[in-house]
């Protein structure tokens, strides 16, 4: 990884794999997978030159401010309290590290693969964060559905290719049952979740609280799922796209040695991060890392908004996960086999 030290924390470039190499099943990408996802990696790598990605990213992220600025009555109709606001519009429902409601950003959640994951009412009631149906602003912003599904489906398909090469790498160190491989677990899942995020602009007199903190926009966390796909953020002022106004803003990751580093990847690349479920199932061959997002600060921040999209790829709600017996497991897990649905969704980026 290339690095620079012009900021308080070193800035590292993510490990990058060209799409042409990724789609080649005969290519041995183990060295790249290990460098990005392995025990000494940052838990992130990016895929470059994905066909149509740049245009699909632009299409969706340009809709983010329009969605956030719809009339409040329309946004209220897009909320789904039963799913714990894990479908449709959500604003002010999450809390910052300080315990205060997070009013800095709004989110729109949807399953880009299945509008209706299940029609079983028992499952809908028991697992509403995963089994509920999508809610779309059909009249107020009809193009949102097409744009989110198109980008989400592409990131899902590329994510499955990443998962395939992860399986190839892991299989060199441990036996992998093909039916329980990362790719197969994700391929049969019905509960992948897309999250379109919009960070509201703040006037200079109302700057972001704790803006000097590297977790000022999103607190420290480790993704609980399998694989998270990320787009590079889009910044705008008065509706016009601009570069990020603060070079210190962005994604920060805590390394294995507890060093905090800023990680960057290209605007035309899809980044993927490993989640805790994958780390456990792979016996640590693939590793998740704590990460946060720092807000921009300074005079140039006034009136600037930020849009981005994340795809959380995770096992199905009734997927039976067989944990390795020789792997340390969190204390709250009492059996080497358990259902993924015991987790509650905490989707952040």
For the stretch 288-309, pLDDT in tens is 999 888 888 888 888 999 999 9
Lowest mean pLDDT among 8-17, 67-76, 338-347: 338-347
Most confident of 17-26, 240-249, 272-281: 17-26
Predicted local distance difference test score (pLDDT) of residue 213: 56
CB 78 within 8 Å of CB 88? yes
Lowest mean pLDDT across 19-28, 52-61, 314-323: 314-323
Contacts of residue 69, Cβ cutoff 8 Å, sequence gap at least 6: none
What is the distance between the alpha carbons of residues 220 and 211, in angstroms, rounded to a whole number?
14
Q: For residue 214, what pLDDT band results from cuts at 50, 70 and 90? A: low
Closest CA to 69 of 198, 205, 235: 198
pLDDT tens, 128-163? 999 999 999 999 999 999 999 999 999 999 999 999
Q: Say what the pTM is.
A: 0.88
24-38, 86-100, 261-275, range with the lowest pLDDT: 86-100
DSSP 3-state assignment of 320? strand
pLDDT at residue 340, rounded to an integer:
38
Mean pLDDT for 73-102 is: 89
Q: What is residue 328's predicted lDDT score, i.e. its pLDDT?
A: 44
Q: Are the C-beta atoms of residues 157 and 313 closer than 8 Å to each other?
A: no
Give the rounded percent of residues in the chain with a pLDDT score beyond 70. 85
């Amino acid at each position: 990884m290339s690095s620079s030290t012009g900021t308080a924390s070193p800035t590292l470039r993510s490990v990058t794999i060209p799409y042409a190499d990724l789609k080649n099943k005969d290519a041995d990408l183990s060295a790249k997978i290990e460098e990005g996802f392995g025990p000494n990696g940052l838990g992130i790598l990016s895929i470059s030159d994905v066909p149509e990605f740049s245009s699909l990213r632009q299409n969706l992220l340009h809709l983010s401010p329009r969605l956030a600025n719809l009339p409040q009555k329309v946004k209220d109709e897009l909320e789904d309290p039963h799913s714990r606001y894990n479908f449709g519009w959500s604003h002010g429902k999450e809390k910052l590290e300080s315990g205060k409601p997070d009013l800095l950003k709004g989110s729109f959640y949807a399953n880009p693969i299945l509008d209706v994951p299940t029609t079983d009412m028992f499952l809908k009631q028991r697992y509403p964060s995963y089994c509920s149906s999508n809610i779309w602003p059909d009249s107020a912003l009809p193009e949102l559905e097409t744009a989110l599904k198109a980008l989400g489906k592409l990131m899902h398909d590329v994510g499955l290719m990443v998962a395939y090469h992860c399986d190839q790498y892991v299989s060199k160190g441990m036996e992998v049952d093909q039916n329980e491989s990362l790719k197969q677990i994700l391929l049969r899942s019905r509960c992948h979740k897309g999250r379109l995020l919009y960070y509201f602009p703040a006037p200079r007199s109302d700057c972001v609280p704790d803006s000097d903190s590297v977790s000022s926009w999103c607190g420290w966390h480790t993704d609980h799922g399998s694989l998270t796909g990320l787009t590079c953020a889009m910044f705008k002022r008065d509706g016009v796209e601009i570069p990020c106004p603060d070079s210190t803003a962005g994604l920060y990751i805590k390394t294995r040695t507890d060093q905090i580093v800023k990680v960057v990847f290209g605007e035309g690349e899809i980044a993927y991060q490993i989640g805790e479920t994958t780390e456990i199932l792979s016996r640590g061959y693939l590793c998740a890392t704590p990460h946060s997002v720092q807000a921009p600060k300074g005079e140039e921040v006034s009136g600037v908004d930020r849009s981005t999209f994340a795809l959380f790829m995770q096992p199905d709600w009734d997927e039976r996960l067989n944990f390795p017996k020789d792997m340390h497991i969190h204390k709250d897990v009492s059996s080497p086999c358990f259902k993924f649905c015991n987790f509650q969704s905490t989707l952040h980026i």
